[in-house]
Structure 1
Amino acid sequence: MADALGTGWRRAGHRVVAGGRSGGLREAAESGTDAVLLALPYGAAAEVVAGLADVLRGRVLIDCTNPVGPGFRLLTAGGPSAAERIAAAAPAARVVKAFNLCHVDVWRLDPPVFDGRPLAVPLCGDSPPALSVVRRLVRDLGCEPLNAGGLDRAGLVEATAALLIGLWVGEGADAQAIAPPLTHAGPRAC
């Protein structure tokens, strides 16, 4: 995810600094970039973030993790979402849940457009300035940001990922066919 998204952001003119399992995480987090993308397996995310909490203070931290386990089961069911756990591990960071609904290959498309429509990316977060930064990063990939609510709604996006992954991978289903076009979705609430 870091490579695919980072490549897209580099193409758009952003400076990208990467850290990995072999080192450089602290240096990457301290780099002064607009945001830090957390592209780690869910099981390691909170611990890594806790170890970097001091350098993440005030930083935009983008969580693209998916707490999905065997059988496409949501690992956070009945508890805080992955994004909320990450926010608790680095309470002074400004966490935004984003980029978790698509496979890494989608992020390698330039741009990710399907049937003439740019990919929509739900964003959950509580910091308007952080959301503004992530909206710009979404648009710089050729996608359309969607306001999905506060960080307390990140669990819904994570559950959606578990459902979609299970349908796509487990069943080979065209999960996009679940939702009708907006014109057929019923009356809009006022």
Structure 2
Amino acid sequence: MTAVTIIGAGDIAAAVADLATKAAVKVQVLARDVEKARTLTAPLGAKAGRVGDAITGEIVVLAVPYPAVAEVLARYADQLTERILIDVTNPIDFATFDNLVVPGESSAAQIIQDTALQARVVKAFNANLGATIATGQVGSLTTTVLVAGDDADAKRAVIDLATAGGLEAVDAGSLKRARELEALAFLQITLAAAKKTPWTGGFALVR
């Protein structure tokens, strides 16, 4: 399987890095704070670097807060051509915690695709809380990753990554479905923030 570059060093980045390692994939983690990247990668035997370093993975995981996306895309504009770009962001208005900050007819993933035209954008992992990716469980069920995108081969690569790492994965349709995935994540996050559900839980898919 191909190599993975993860941009970011938060909970989702750490969980996906661990998942990719379980899938026997080479992992590179790039963060603004290289020490955070090193702390994350040390137990995994993965490579750490600073945002701005060259991307080595054919799959790139965009695991930064949504407000940082534009800067990252601009920095790596010439390195994303034909790469699979996994968007795990959720464009929540954290000032009010009551809305998404993208137009109602669009999504963060679509805006990213419109910006990085030569990348193959796939929405995935955003509707999973970090703990459920890390443990592989939502309650008694195996964590399911919902995957949306317009490139069938790119989606298959992401599904293969998730399943090789021990999770379930479902093709949720075209990139248009990213809007619903972001809304689903928004609801899940707000429920957890209000302590109505645990950060270690979340929505599960029964098949």
**Which band: TM-score by shorter chain?**
0.7 to 0.9
Matches of 2:124 and 2:21, distance apart in 1: 18
Tell me which residue corresponds to 1:146.
170
Select the residue among 122, 129, 132 that pairs with 1:103: 129
Please tell me the root mean square deviation across aligned C-alpha atoms, in Å. Answer: 2.5
Q: Is residue 118 from structure 1 mapped to residue 129 from structure 2 by the alignment?
A: no
In the TM superposition, what whole-angstrom CA distance separates every residue of 1:103-153 from its partner, at most 9, and x where no partner exists? 2222221x33532x3211111101111111101111022111111111111
Matches of 1:148 and 1:78, distance apart in 2: 19
Matched residue count? 178
> Which consecutive segments of 4 or more residues in structure 1 shift more than 4 A?
176-182
Indicate the structure with greater strand content.
2
In the TM superposition, what whole-angstrom CA distance separates every residue of 1:142-189 from its partner, at most 9, and x where no partner exists? 111111111111011001111121223225148x8989966xxxxxxx
Tell me which residue corresponds to 1:92.
118
Specify the code of the residue in structure 1 equivalent to 2:180. L
Q: Is residue 128 from structure 1 mapped to residue 152 from structure 2 by the alignment?
A: yes
Q: Is residue 5 from structure 1 mapped to residue 12 from structure 2 by the alignment?
A: no
Distance 1:178 1:80, change over 3 A: closer
Q: Is residue 60 from structure 1 mapped to residue 90 from structure 2 by the alignment?
A: no
- CA contact under 8 A between 1:53 and 1:93: conserved in structure 2? no
In the TM superposition, what whole-angstrom CA distance separates every residue of 1:63-85 from its partner, at most 9, and x where no partner exists? 00011123242222425200011
Q: Which runs of 5+ in 2 are unaligned?
A: 1-11, 34-48
Determine which structure has more spread, i.e. the larger CA radius of gyration.
1
Distance 1:114 1:141, change over 3 A: farther
Secondary structure of the equivalent of 1:68? coil
Query: How many Å apart are 1:6 and its aligned residue?
Result: 0.4
In the TM superposition, what whole-angstrom CA distance separates every residue of 1:26-69 from its partner, at most 9, and x where no partner exists? 4352x1x2310000000111331132121000000000001112
Distance 1:178 1:144, change over 3 A: closer
Indicate the structure with greater helix content.
1
Instruction: Calculate the TM-score normalised by the size of structure 1.
Output: 0.83
Matches of 1:39 and 1:146, distance apart in 2: 20
